[in-house]
Amino acid sequence: MPEAPGREAGLSHSDHQAVRLWLRLLTCSTQIEQVIRSQLRTEFGTTLPRFDYLAQLSRFPKGLRMKTLSEYLMVTGGNVTGLTDQLVAEGWVERVADEEDRRSMIVRLTRSGKKQFKAMAAAHELWLEQLLTPLGSKNVSDLYEQLGKLRQVLSLPESA
């Protein structure tokens, strides 16, 4: 099967393996992301950043401080504020005062937000299964394990 053009276009086997691997990881990530973005837009009229935001909040039923949420999402506080404003207006999240620090706000999913996210998360999982099933469960497991090792290596202080 010929490979789709992408970041790897024009590379040869004489190019460094580390460069080829890095470009392959970027290409695969981008391709998966494009499918997910398209499906979220088509089926739910939403964006991947909004989905990621809701996914983070879904893991913390009591909510998160805005600063913590921006750290988890790896975006600026301004980005989180903008998304929060939109999602509050739609009734999917609410801001409440942080009981431990009155200067901070906690953001949490509303009942409507939980319901919306539950539907999106189920569809998201199905889309990923459809994308990865052709690899076979053993290959998916092996790939997950190898990427876990890579993540550990990248987390070492010398890697920074």
142 belongs to a structural domain: no
Mark out the alpha helices in the chain (DSSP H runs). 17-44, 48-58, 66-73, 77-89, 111-132, 137-155
Domain that holds residue 67: 47-123
**Predicted TM-score of the model (pTM):** 0.81
115 belongs to a structural domain: yes
Q: What is the mean pLDDT of the chain?
A: 90
Decide if pLDDT at 38 tops 90.
yes
101 belongs to a structural domain: yes
**pLDDT at res. 1:** 47
Confidence of residue 101 (pLDDT cuts 50, 70, 90): confident
118 belongs to a structural domain: yes
> Which has more confidence, 55 or 3?
55
Per-residue pLDDT tens for 46-78? Answer: 999 999 999 999 999 999 999 999 999 988 888
67 belongs to a structural domain: yes
Number of domains in the chain: 1
CATH code of residue 83: 1.10.10.10
4 belongs to a structural domain: no
66 belongs to a structural domain: yes
- Kindly provide the b/e burial profile for residues 65-102, where b requires at least 16 CB atoms within 10 angstroms of the residue's own CB: bbebbbebbebeeeebeebbeebeeeebbbeeeeeeee
